[in-house]
Amino acid sequence: MYTDCFFARSSRLVARSLFIGCLLLSVGVLAQNEVKVYPTHWWTGMKDRKLQIMFYRPEGLTTSKTALISNTPDIRILKTHKPANKHYLIADVEIAATAKPGKKYLRLSNPDPKESYTIYYELKARSADNGKTRIKGITSEDLIYLIMPDRFSNGDPSNDRIAGLKDQSLNRNEIFDRHGGDLKGIENHLDYLQDLGVTALWLNPVLLNDMPKRTEHGYAATDHYTIEPRIGGAAAYHSLSNALHKRGMKLIQDAVYNHVGIEHFLFRDLPDSSWFHFWPTYTNTTYKDQVLMDPYAAAIDKKKMSDGWFVPSMPDLNQHNPFVANFLIQHAIWCTEEFGLDGWRIDTYAYNDLAFMNRCNKALLDEYPQLHIFGETWVHGVPNQSFFTQNVYQIPYRSNLPAITDFQLNLYGIVPALNQPFGWTEGVNRLYLTASNDFVYKDPMKQVIFLDNHDLSRFLSVVGEDVQKLKIGLAWLLTFRGVPQLYYGTEVMMKNFADPDGKVRLDFPGGWAGDSANKFTAAGRTLQEDSLFNYTRALAQFRKRSSAIRTGKLMQYVPEDGIYVYFRYDAKQTVMCIMNPEDKEKEITTARFEERLKGFTQATDVITGQKTAIGDKMKIPAKTQLVFEIQ
- For 306, residues 6+ apart whose C-beta sits below 8 A from its C-beta are 285, 292, 351, 352, 353
Distance, CA of 485 to CA of 450 (rounded, Å): 5
- For 244, residues 6+ apart whose C-beta sits below 8 A from its C-beta are 190, 201, 250, 251
Q: Summarize pLDDT for 83-107 with one digit per residue, the tens.
A: 999 999 999 999 999 999 999 999 9
What is the structure's pLDDT at 33?
Answer: 52
One-letter amino acid for residue 19 of the chain: F
The dihedral built from the CA positions of residue 475, 478, 484 and 486, taken in this order, carries a sign that is positive
Residue 350 gets which letter from DSSP? G
Distance, CA of 76 to CA of 154 (rounded, Å): 46
Nearest residue to 99 (alpha-carbon basis) of 67, 122, 128: 122
Q: Summarize pLDDT for 260-272 with one digit per residue, the tens.
A: 999 999 999 999 9
Residue 388 DSSP SS3: coil
Find out whether 375 and 258 touch, Cβ atoms under 8 Å: no
What secondary structure does DSSP assign to 90-110, as a single string?
A: EEEEEE-TT--SEEEEEEEE-
Find out whether 624 and 473 touch, Cβ atoms under 8 Å: no
Secondary structure, 3-state, 494-523: CCCCCCCHHHHCCCCCCCCCCCCCCCCCHH
What is the structure's pLDDT at 28?
Answer: 30
What is the structure's pLDDT at 31?
Answer: 31
Q: What is the mean pLDDT of residues 46-65?
A: 96
Find out whether 215 and 262 touch, Cβ atoms under 8 Å: no
User: How far is it between the farthest Cα atoms of the chain?
Assistant: 92
Residues belonging to the active site: 347, 376
Q: Summarize pLDDT for 387-425 with one digit per residue, the tens.
A: 999 999 999 999 999 999 999 999 999 999 999 999 999
Residue 140 gets which letter from DSSP? T
Nearest residue to 17 (alpha-carbon basis) of 278, 263, 271: 278
What secondary structure does DSSP assign to 360-382, as a single string?
A: HHHHHHHH-TT-EEEE----SSH
What is the structure's pLDDT at 26?
Answer: 33
Q: pLDDT class for 174, splitting at 50, 70, 90? A: very high
One-letter amino acid for residue 546 of the chain: S
- For 12, residues 6+ apart whose C-beta sits below 8 A from its C-beta are none
Q: pLDDT over 70 for what percent of the chain?
A: 95
Q: Summarize pLDDT for 436-452 with one digit per residue, the tens.
A: 999 999 999 999 999 99
Q: Summarize pLDDT for 338-389 with one digit per residue, the tens.
A: 999 999 999 999 999 999 999 999 999 999 999 999 999 999 999 999 999 9
Residues in the chain, total: 631
Q: What is the mean pLDDT of residues 511-524?
A: 98
What is the structure's pLDDT at 329?
Answer: 98
Residue 450 DSSP SS3: strand
For the whole model, what pTM was predicted? 0.94
Q: pLDDT class for 1, splitting at 50, 70, 90? A: very low
List domains and CATH numbers for the chain. Answer: 36-124 (2.60.40.10), 144-545 (3.20.20.80), 556-630 (2.60.40.1180)
pLDDT(281) > 50: yes
pLDDT(121) > 70: yes
> What CA dihedral angle connects 378, 379, 381 and 385, to 10 degrees?
-70
Distance, CA of 279 to CA of 284 (rounded, Å): 10
